[in-house]
Amino acid sequence: MQVKICGITRAEQGQAIARMGATALGFICVARSPRYITAEAIRAIVPHLPEAVERVGVFVNATPAELVQWVKVSGLTAVQLHGDESPQTCRDLREALPGIKLIKAFRVKHPNVLAQTDAYTAWVDALLLDAYHPTQQGGTGQTLDWETLQSFRPAVPWFLAGGLTPANVREAIALTHPDGIDLSSGVEQAPGIKDLQKVEHLFAQLQTIMPTPLP
């Protein structure tokens, strides 16, 4: 099970969370987010992290040229496309960002969004499903209707996101069987500041359902 913890802004927190067993750390590269971090600040954090941990930049409708520049400056190993990026944009990014993993995120307003994901799987490494919110693009703490995801089995691995917490993560996994989970506001004390006790509680919960969830 992949475990991505998103909204990292501090090196010591990223390091501690990686040590607890996160397989990926997310950095919010969206200027209007309260969890925003610059490319230069990510670059300063990266040397403190284990090499094996994926460093995921989260973007909303950034252009390919902007993404190339962010990756070059920051040391990201993956980008999460959390806006309305088209399959063609993902295809272009595949070429523009060789060696960088692409994760296409969908904010699921209605279950029919799931059918749209098929058009992306040839161009991305993973999908991510997040909850829909009318005014915010992510980090909302809203959950999806997990019942509607029970038979979601795309051709690439997928992450469940949206309002996951140490208290609900076991039920969410049991109902949806994702390849990975992604948590942000459910393990933070304030936007951009993680609550390490909550993260520890999360991994303790995961340990009860997967004896060896950690890398």
Question: Taking CB under 6 A as the criterion, which residues in 157-186 touch ligand LGQLAAA5?
Answer: 161-164, 182-186
Q: Is 90 a catalytic residue?
A: no
Least CB distance to ligand LGQLAAA5 at residue 113 (A):
15
Least CB distance to ligand LGQLAAA5 at residue 77 (A):
15
Least CB distance to ligand LGQLAAA5 at residue 175 (A):
17
DSSP the chain: -EEEEE----HHHHHHHHHHT-SEEEEE--TTSTTB--HHHHHHHGGGS-TTSEEEEEESS--HHHHHHHHHHH--SEEEE-S---HHHHHHHHHHSTT-EEEEEEEESSTTHHHHGGGGTTT-SEEEEEE--SS-SS---PPP-GGGGTT---SS-EEE-SS--TTTHHHHHHHH--SEEEESGGGEEETTEE-HHHHHHHHHHHHHH-SS---
Q: If binding is defined by CB under 6 A, does position 26 make contact with ligand LGQLAAA5? A: yes
Active site amino acids: 6, 130
Which residues contact ligand LGQLAAA5 by CB under 6 A? 6-7, 26, 28, 30, 33, 35, 58, 60, 82, 128, 130, 137-141, 161-164, 182-186
